[in-house]
Amino acid sequence: AAIPTYSIATIPADGIGPEVVEAGVEVLKALSQKLATFRITFENFDWSSETYKKTGKYIPDGGLEQLKKHDAILFGAVGAPDVPDHISLWGLRLAICQPFQQYANVRPTRIFRGTQSPLRNANIGDLDWVIVRENSEGEYAGQGGRSHRGKAWEVATETSIFSRHGVERIIRFAFETAQKRPRKMLTVVTKSNAQRNGMVMWDEVAHEVAQDFPDVKVDKMLVDAMTVRMVMKPGSLDTIVATNLHADILSDLAAALAGSIGIAPTSNLDPSRENPSMFEPIHGSAFDITGMGISNPVATFWSAAEMLEWIGEADAARQLIEAVEKVCERGVVTADLGGKANTKDVTAAVCEEIEKIA
Ligand code: NAI
Ligand code: MG
């Protein structure tokens, strides 16, 4: 019988991006060869801060149309020491997320076997979350301006945009995510005591959408109190939904609580499936360790697993995570997890575990 073929666009971009994406492609190839239940092809796009410095553009003309032909995108990280971060972020990552309406940013966190949370009270299984981040508007809508630049009387505004359409669709997506998980729990995070317009609308929309999900247990938290709960009672949380900014911050905290930013994945999903979704590690381009060969590829492996699940290969995704977790258990981990292995050691060990799949 014919097996499905998926075409993946890779955009390694900057810093450690190329190292971890190369590792990700290697394990995906090994997995597809071993399982022989699907084929996977890759097209690489060398869009980066280097291209930007040479051409003034991160994405060449017609670039998005080329991307659109693929089933999914595996992204590394963007950001260079000599390009302002707001230029690189808006030039490449957001320039894909926004036109492709990847409005759901999904960030799972858990403590892998063989790794340790910095929390004294958290063991494996106690911290198993999915953070759903609004990824198309809110605080990162790009609305605002500056007047009297550089003068003592300069003013700047950064306006948050919350549309009922945007809020409703992300909250609905979060309820659906919660409903598919065993505990069926959703925590809606806002700051509706201080931000009395957009955040109050979030609370109202959450209350309305909740009526369609009677089997999901829902509660509300203010974002500041949420940081306390994540640290003090991690086991009381499951699925979490928050605005673009709030969830950005909470998910970095989540990654740290799970042991390292080098593990955590992100999916930028277009749930309508009109456009390809994009999968990437949470971490950035990590200039401090670029080229040293010591970056942790696990965040990219987990991102690759999330990608497999999204395109319809849930079983392969599970096998990949299992292989990664076995490697952590064996103690083959990079320095950020307290180990001595380098990127290539971890990648080779994961490929070995894949080879052992019965
Ligand atoms: P970062 O995530 O690049 O690094 C933070 C710290 O974590 C560094 O000490 C780094 O060495 C370490 N780290 C990150 N990933 C690691 C890995 N896989 N293995 C081991 N250690 C790892 O964040 P930072 O330093 O704030 O940002 C650097 C650049 O990356 C900036 O230009 C920033 O704008 C960009 N960035 C890009 C993102 C993206 O493309 N989605 C996300 C976050 C930051
Ligand atoms: Mg971030």
CA distance 219 to 185: 8
Residue with CA nearest ligand 1 atom 31: 79
Please state, in angstroms and rounded to a whole number, the distance separating the CA atoms of residues 283 and 255: 9
Tell me the C-alpha distance between 290 and 20, whole Å. 11
Q: Would the CB of 336 count as within 6 Å of ligand 1?
A: yes
Exactly one of 14, 71, 238, 248 is catalytic; which is it? 248
pLDDT of residue 124: 83
Q: In what order do the strands lie in the sheet with 104-110?
A: 39-44, 5-13, 72-77, 277-281, 265-269, 104-110, 128-134, 239-242, 185-190, 217-222
Residue 302 pLDDT: 98
Q: If DSSP codes are grouped into helix, strand and coil, which group holds residue 273?
A: coil
Phi, psi of 111 (to 5 degrees): -90, 115
What domains does the chain contain, in order, with CATH numbers? 1-103+267-358 (3.40.718.10), 117-143+156-258 (3.40.718.10)
109: Cα within 13 Å, side-chain hemisphere: 31
The CA-atom distances, in angstroms, between 65 and each of 45, 93, 267, 281, 319 are 13, 15, 20, 24, 32
Q: What are the beta bridge partners of residue 188? A: 220, 241
pLDDT for position 151: 98
Verify whether ligand 1 is closer than 6 Å to residue 317 (CB atom).
no
pLDDT value, residue 125: 86
Is residue 248 annotated as a catalytic residue, yes or no?
yes
**Low-confidence stretches of the chain (pLDDT beneath 50):** none
Contact 250, 226 (CB under 8 A): yes
Nearest to 73 by CA among 263, 269, 265: 269
Q: Give the position, in ligand 1's atom list, of the atom nearest the Cα of 288.
A: 11
What is the Å distance from ligand 2's center to 249 Cα? 7
Q: Which element (helix H / strand E) includes 279?
A: strand 277-281
Ligand 1 pocket, residue 86 CB under 6 Å: no
Question: Between the CA of residue 213 and those of 171, 236, 254, 278, 338, what are the distances in Å?
Answer: 11, 20, 26, 28, 42
Closest by CA position to 134, among listed 104, 98, 90: 104
- Residue 126 bears catalytic tag: no
Ligand minimally distant from the alpha carbon of residue 261: 1
pLDDT at site 123: 83
Query: Who contacts 91 (Cβ-Cβ below 8 Å, separation ≥6)?
Result: 52, 57, 58, 59, 78
Cα→Cα distances 237→130, 254, 302, Å: 9, 11, 21
Q: What is the ipTM of this complex?
A: 0.97
* Span 32-54, pLDDT tens digits: 999 999 999 999 999 999 999 99
Q: Which of 14, 52, 191, 345 is catalytic?
A: 191
Distance, CA 109 to ligand 2 centroid (Å)? 14
